[in-house]
Structure 1
Amino acid sequence: MEMADRGEEPPQGGEDEGFEERVRMLMSLCYDDGLCPDDVPIDDVEIDENEAVVTVNKRFDEIKIQWLKERTVVIIFRDEARDMPRSVKEDVVRAYENGWKKDGTFEPQEGKGRVKFEGPNVISYVARDMVVAEWMVNEGLGEVRLKGKSYSFEMKKWMPKAEWKEFRRNELENTFWVIAIQVPLDAYCYLQSSLTRVIGPVLKMDSPDRFSSNPRLLNIKCEIEPECRSRFKDRTNDSG
């Protein structure tokens, strides 16, 4: 099912204020309380075989986007935290919440925000109050110590779909990772020097123990200078 927005003329004056207030109330019920509204204005529905295109009310969607921008924070996990299981990532977010509750950062205390996984290292966090979202964005960076380990993450303003795609595109262009598969025991000590000579400078190499306290050699993830991307040859593309 696809969704599109197409404009009806927005209400005027006090009618517009009443409409916006109602939409905001519905957004709070939906994202805070998990009660999906059944009376959202739909302008049109087109069904073609297995595909349905729903055209939503433009003014309603604009208010929804604004509400989400005010209340939602994008949490981006970096370094070791990037590859943690989802359950651990959510534990980190909840530990961060518990931290500001313990410190009395907000009065009155705010409840738990809603978490939505957007990708391998990204979570959207819908705060219970825009004051919380503003504070998180202003903080910019967060760190939590959980079960003896420290995890860091970035916090940015939420972005609509088009802006999010552009952000991800820029991030991919500015990051270049290579994974050395099943590194042989007698080759591990040469790995970083070899990558530097063959492809380019290694900016960071993950520890082989990043997923476990048990020392082992498996796949090693290495971040390389993005300008050297053209020197990388993927063997999966070879015809031989």
Structure 2
Amino acid sequence: MSEPAPGLYERPTLISHLTGHQRIFAQGAYKAVRDLQFAPVACEEGFGMARFYPLCWRRSGGAPVLGVLRSLLPGGLGHPADVPTQESALPLLLQCFPIILPDAEAIARQQLHFDDVIADRPSDVGAPLLMADGHLSRAALIRARRAVGLAHALNDSAALSRDIDAAGLLEPWTLDFEIGDGRRVRIDDLQVVSAARLHHPELAEIIAAHGAMAGLCLSLHRASLFRVNALLQAARRQAAALPDSGPGEALAS
């Protein structure tokens, strides 16, 4: 199994004849999907995600991870109002949920795992993981195929991120905003490609080594950063709806 977003999965469970009766639901029915603040993405997702969220990096285990910042606030609060609610607007990692992203060992063994958690906001009756004949249901199969494809794509994106980091092209992107009623939000563990290094020869060499998709992703990355304004507006709307706070209360860090 692979966990690109620490804490996303609570109860990883092997899909087998013993667990195939478990039902899966629309992604938004799961708290983990609604709450995930920073979602890792592959370069191939850049075009779709940059319309809605800032593309940036966050370190995990010492390595930079490309992802999207979905909200300035934790706990599923403060999502931009102009982001569509349909499945296609979710990062692929969350489109797969509750199917767990497989690692190389799971792929080699042809094993699939799912997160055996309760869907606390179901909007339909769901679908079983396995049909009576032992095959994956259509809903499970679609998510499983996405998960396997994403696992490979994230490896490619990780290689690009490592090269950018090794070249010293990343710089801190600290977000610190006043959101009303004495509340502030601060996120200080994000990184972006330095604007001063965009025309550095080493960046051109990295793009040439990783292909046109890498170049497009990096262009979209810089253009997407303005979406932090939509996150800020959403955070301020959310703060206005919360009970009064004391001065200087921080809602996120």
TM-score normalised by length of structure 1 = 0.30
Tell which structure's C-alpha radius of gyration is larger. 1
| Between structures 1 and 2, the one with greater strand share | 1
Which gives a bigger RCO, structure 1 or 2 (Cα 8 Å, sep 6+)?
Answer: 2
